[in-house]
Amino acid sequence: MKQRTIKKTINGVGIGLHKGEPIRFTLQPLDSNSGIVFYRTDTGTYIEAKPENVVDTRMATVIGNDGKSVSTIEHMLSAIYAFGIDNLLIKIDASEAPIMDGSSTSFCMMLNETGLQELDAAKRVMMLQKEVEVRDGEKFVKISPASTLSYHFQIRFNHPAIGFQEYGFEFSKQAYLEQISRARTFGFLKDVQMLRAHNLALGASLENAIVLDNNKIINNEGLRYNNEFVRHKILDAIGDLRLLGMPYIGKYESFAGSHHLNHLLTKEILRDAENYKIVEASEISDMQLARVYA
């Protein structure tokens, strides 16, 4: 199986979660071994999507270079991973990626519309060789050796609409589109009010997030999945781990994981070369990967 990019350039526009302003972006094909690269058209700054460029993880995953940054990239990267895209240039005219509807489904629709093309170079895959774990009290994220890629996530919130939730699935593009891509980000009304007092979350609305008051979900349409909250955590994790730079094979597990813990996990994986080996796709099974990304 070869590396992939998109067939043609495609343009989009959306609202920024924090500034609440329109953001224009362009997805453009890139050659083999280029990776995923963001380009701030308003500042002329290139920022590669890799762990060493992560500059903040408090409210979203933020990458930066030369004092310029792009935040809230995890939903876009999640869709890019699901489509098996290895090389892509993302031109953007702001310091944050658009929130769209709070999930990755809009980005998936764009990628489906533009189509994919194979390049000359072989696809590289990271195979986990050792269990790698990062903990913060009872919270943890870990990834273990396995023959397939799977995710299992647990969360617990002291809120009647969430409580304890868990979800797991074996990754494939089709499973992602059906089970994960439509899961929206969520937040609490009291937090949104506090953030807006600091000129943040100005673009947050019932159109791009699940919003909860002290007792219930206030979105009229309700949930897209009965456990949409934990499914969105998996969506985020897939996007965060895309910063490893290639597809990976392993078993990802988490309780109350976060952007910060996912970032620490990518750093810990890459810290020791004995944690993984990088192989060409043909060394695994082209047919197996072809099914995953069909």
Does pTM top 0.75 for this prediction? yes
**Which CATH superfamily is 125-292 part of?**
lpxc deacetylase, domain 2 (3.30.1700.10)
- At the topology level, CATH places domain 2-121 in Ribosomal Protein S5; domain 2 (3.30.230)
Percent of the chain residues past pLDDT 70, beyond the cut? 97
Calculate ∠ Cα 106-267-131, nearest 5°.
Answer: 95
- By residue count, the chain amounts to 294
Question: What is the distance between the alpha carbons of residues 205 and 292, in angstroms, rounded to a whole number?
Answer: 34
**Contact at 8 Å (CB) between 144 and 31?**
no
**Contact at 8 Å (CB) between 229 and 186?**
yes
Query: Could you tell me the strand order of the sheet in which 88-92 lies?
Result: 10-15, 22-29, 88-92, 36-40, 45-48
Report the pLDDT value the prediction gives residue 9, as an integer from 0 to 100: 98
> Domain boundaries in the chain?
2-121, 125-292
Helix axes 259-271, 228-241, angle to 10 degrees: 40
Calculate ∠ Cα 162-181-243, nearest 5°.
Answer: 100
Q: Give me the half-sphere count of Cα atoms (radius 13 Å) on the Cβ side of residue 244.
A: 31
What's the pLDDT band for 82 if we cut at 50, 70, 90? very high
Question: What is the distance between the alpha carbons of residues 157 and 212, in angstroms, rounded to a whole number?
Answer: 12
Averaged pLDDT for residues 51-80: 96
DSSP state of 145: -
Residue with token string 């058209």: 41
Least confident span in 102-116, 167-181, 277-291 = 277-291
Tell me the two tokens of residue 106.
């809009």
**Contact at 8 Å (CB) between 16 and 203?**
yes
Q: In the annotation, is 259 catalytic?
A: yes
pLDDT per position as a tens digit, 251-261: 999 999 999 99
For residue 55, give every residue at least 6 positions away whose Cβ sits within 8 Å of its Cβ, in sequence order, or none: 62, 63, 64, 69
Question: What is the distance between the alpha carbons of residues 137 and 172, in angstroms, rounded to a whole number?
Answer: 32
pLDDT per position as a tens digit, 83-108: 999 999 999 999 999 999 999 999 99
2-121 matches 125-292 in fold? no
Averaged pLDDT for residues 12-20: 90
Report the pLDDT value the prediction gives residue 291, as an integer from 0 to 100: 66
- Single out the catalytic residue among 18, 75, 259, 260: 259
Averaged pLDDT for residues 162-186: 97
Does the pLDDT at position 234 exceed 90?
A: yes
Averaged pLDDT for residues 239-247: 97
